[in-house]
Structure 1
Amino acid sequence: MPVVFTGTRRELGGVLLRGYLLLVPTIGLYRFWLTTWKRRFYWSHTEIAADPLEYTGNAVQLLLGFLMALAIFVPLYGLFFYFSTLSSQAAIVGYGGVGILLWFLTGYAIYRARDFRLSRTLWRGIRCDQGGSAWNYAFRRFFWSLLVIVTAGLAYPFMAANLWTYRYRHSWYGDRQFSFVGTWRQLARPFYLAYGIVLVIGASGLGLGSAMGAFSGPPDPVGFLPLMLAALLIGLVFLYYRSRELTQMFSSVRLGEAALTVKVRARSLTGQHALFGLGLVASYIVLAIGGVVVLGVVAGSAFAGGQFDLEIFMQHMQGSLVTLLAIIFGYLLILAAFSLMAELFLGLGLWTLVARGATITGLDSLHNVRARDEDKALAGEGLADALNVGAY
């Protein structure tokens, strides 16, 4: 049976624009409602055997989880203030320690958020769930990441396979437990191939850039062209590996006799990123035109006798409340444009590619699955929202 996704960018765009408009008057609190509406959009438009997914989480749960997470972040802010009063060396050590702590907590937050989303996800009236321990996952992710750093990235296939395995072997659909048959060997070939290509491209770009004067003083702008081309090619190689990992790992998920097969093509993933880039450039051009118009209105008072007076213009810019509001509003528009394009082309694009590239066999074996109660002990996503590592 194929997985069908019926959502469109127009529908999601309407949800996002409404949410962004309400973020300002609510001082950002509406983002919990926006997240809930986004998830309901994705879930309700994803159909498996003509039955859509259902998301039962609500914004109040997300808000309560965020408020609980503040109990951790307030002391951390106090530590940052304390470190700022110390010597530079002590401050660096302190900031580094807090950074390591936050990296560890990120693993906990990711697993905890997945637990919340699954416990609020239903298909055919039967709820999913996430077992296991978020602390166990956090320790696994933390120590694997240290090994990846020590090995200059060479241990990544082992880390990825281990974390995928832990997540899915502790996932449930009703009283039926998922399983995972993937191994690091499935990732080794595409990863080490991509790794070698990146090394060659990076070394070639640096060599050509240096030969063309990119690192000499004064630097020659032409010398940066090989570096830019190398960065573009490395990005394409990364997307190639990303498509292989998604294909291999999702296709290793099992639920009893039901098996998932996913095909994500590298060119489709590249196309989504290209559309994101074009959309972002177009939106920033529109914002730039609007900014020029606003500056033109402000600069109108600086013309005296048909000549432009820079001093009057700067005084007006510094003392005008309208100018201050325009700067703040412009900054918010820049952030909103980036978030909107990222969601419309990267977030929606990835969900669409995975959903439409998926097929499931053995669905008949799930007819005798029994439902489980909702895990009401989970009050939102907490740290995941505070650290901005929640998905969809």
Structure 2
Amino acid sequence: MVWDGGQERPVPVVFTGTRGELGGMLLRGYLLLVPTIGLYRFWLTTWKRRFYWSHTEIDGDALEYTGNAIQLLIGFLMALAIFVPLYGLFFYLSTQSSTAAVIGYGGVGVLLWFLSGYAVYRARDFRLSRTLWRGIRFDQAGSAWGYAWRRFGWSLLVLLTAGLAYPFMAANLWSYRYRHSWYGDRQFAFAGSWKQLVGPFYLSYGTVAVITLIGLVLWGAALGGGQMRPAGFVPLLIAAALIGCMILRYHSRELSRMLSSVSLGQARLTVHVSAGALLGQYVLFGFALLGTFIVLGIGGFVVIGALAADAFAGGGFDPEIFMSHMRGSFVTLAAIIFGYLLVLGGFSLMSELFLGLGYWKLVAKGAAITGIDSLRDVRARGEDKRLAGEGLADALNVGAY
């Protein structure tokens, strides 16, 4: 497996899954969420990960996910030991003065931000320890509490510097995660540094600042007459779109440069994800979401119009009659609740199909590994059974896939 020049041929990462297959799995899972009061999400998450892992092939061998739903459920139940007292604290703060409530909620917010760092690291540890390739298990060492303190301290510095310290924070956290990652008995190495990020970050930072300033000036000029016309929001919309493009541009460079700094002995990873490809995923997501909401909106209008026809009599809409139907008709209320769940489900489905799956496919398509034959003598290590799951990450919604 070498080039004519004697250098080893890069081995591509191949993803074989389809959007239709994932969509069918998600629809089945969403239908089962209702009768199980949401508990089926642990099984849905497990099947979804097995879909992503099993369709990702490296040198002809697919990844394998060995985690199960019970582990995720147990982890979630353990996380309740933290959140039940927090809910009690929220209730207590709601009975206090406005000043005490603001201070209390702020303190809880800081605590949750710190805990989210711990949760992110533990969730990554769980996923790696349940991931195999060629029968060899990945793992993550290091300290989740140490990572949480490191992330929290860097976050404070980023806040104090108005975001200017972000490249240093990002490089440091990337390094900590990968320097403590293992494949069997072999440890990953990370050669990336802040020097690879400061250029694209500060360019994006300055461009975003200029775009924001110009957008605000044009918006202020539109308010010169004291009246706000719809056209006055056009500069803000254009500015928001340009800012989004700059953020994606930087994200693509951070992702490509940091992942391309990862190595495992003689095996080296290179990844290239373009900003245009990332933008394309968001454009597809926007059109898919718009189409979904249009279909749901038409369906909802037809159903509500049939159940509360008198509220739409005379070509108008009478909110009092409509509210009386909600109070007096269980069917109407149930239809509204079901419609709300459909909207949430539609958003979640489109997000997974066009952002989650799209992101995974872009990284896989842009990835290649050289020196992969050097991994044939890696020895396996046992599964880290201390990890019950990733309940805190699930509760804080900071998990991945």
The root-mean-square deviation of aligned C-alpha atoms, in Å, is: 1.5
Residue 53 of structure 2, aligned match among 40, 43, 50: 43
Amino acid in structure 2 at the alignment position of 1:261: T
Counterpart-to-counterpart distance in 1, 2:364 and 2:312: 58
**What are the Cα deviations for residues 163-206 of structure 1, in whole angstroms up to 9, with x where unaligned?**
00000000000000001000001011110110111011000000
CA contact 2:218–2:235 (8 Å) conserved in 1:
yes
- Per-residue deviation, 1:382: 1.9
- 1:286 match: 295
Residue 277 of structure 2, aligned match among 268, 275, 289: 268
Counterpart-to-counterpart distance in 1, 2:325 and 2:171: 59
Residue 358 of structure 1, aligned match among 367, 375, 385: 367
Is residue 250 from structure 1 mapped to residue 276 from structure 2 by the alignment?
no
Judging changes above 3 Å, is the alpha-carbon distance between structure 1 residues 79 and 360 closer, same or farther for their aligned structure 2 residues? Answer: same
- Per-residue deviation, 1:312: 5.0
Counterpart-to-counterpart distance in 2, 1:349 and 1:173: 26
Counterpart-to-counterpart distance in 2, 1:378 and 1:302: 55
- 1:231 match: 240
Counterpart-to-counterpart distance in 2, 1:303 and 1:58: 50
- Per-residue deviation, 1:309: 9.3
- Per-residue deviation, 1:119: 0.2
Counterpart-to-counterpart distance in 2, 1:371 and 1:382: 27
CA contact 2:151–2:173 (8 Å) conserved in 1:
yes
- 2:110 match: 100
Is residue 181 from structure 1 mapped to residue 191 from structure 2 by the alignment?
yes
Residue 355 of structure 2, aligned match among 321, 339, 346: 346
- 1:385 match: 394
- 2:64 match: 54
Counterpart-to-counterpart distance in 1, 2:27 and 2:180: 37
Judging changes above 3 Å, is the alpha-carbon distance between structure 1 residues 209 and 163 closer, same or farther for their aligned structure 2 residues? Answer: same
- 2:308 match: 299
- 2:8 match: none
- 2:202 match: 192
Residue 231 of structure 2, aligned match among 214, 222, 244: 222
Number of residue pairs the alignment of both structures matches: 390
Residue 129 of structure 2, aligned match among 114, 119, 126: 119
Q: Secondary structure at the match of 1:2?
A: strand
Q: Secondary structure at the match of 2:385?
A: coil
Structure 2, unmatched stretches of 5+, are 1-10
TM-score (norm 2): 0.95
Identity of aligned residues (%): 74
Q: Decide which moves more: 237-246 or 219-228.
A: 219-228
Is residue 369 from structure 1 mapped to residue 378 from structure 2 by the alignment?
yes
TM-score (norm 1): 0.97
Is residue 86 from structure 1 mapped to residue 100 from structure 2 by the alignment?
no
Is residue 23 from structure 1 mapped to residue 13 from structure 2 by the alignment?
no
**What are the Cα deviations for residues 15-55 of structure 1, in whole angstroms up to 9, with x where unaligned?**
10011000000000000000000000000000000000000
- Per-residue deviation, 1:303: 8.3
Q: Secondary structure at the match of 2:51?
A: helix
Structure 1, unmatched stretches of 5+, are none
Moved over 2 A (4+): 216-221, 299-304, 306-318
Amino acid in structure 1 at the alignment position of 2:161: T
Amino acid in structure 2 at the alignment position of 1:102: L
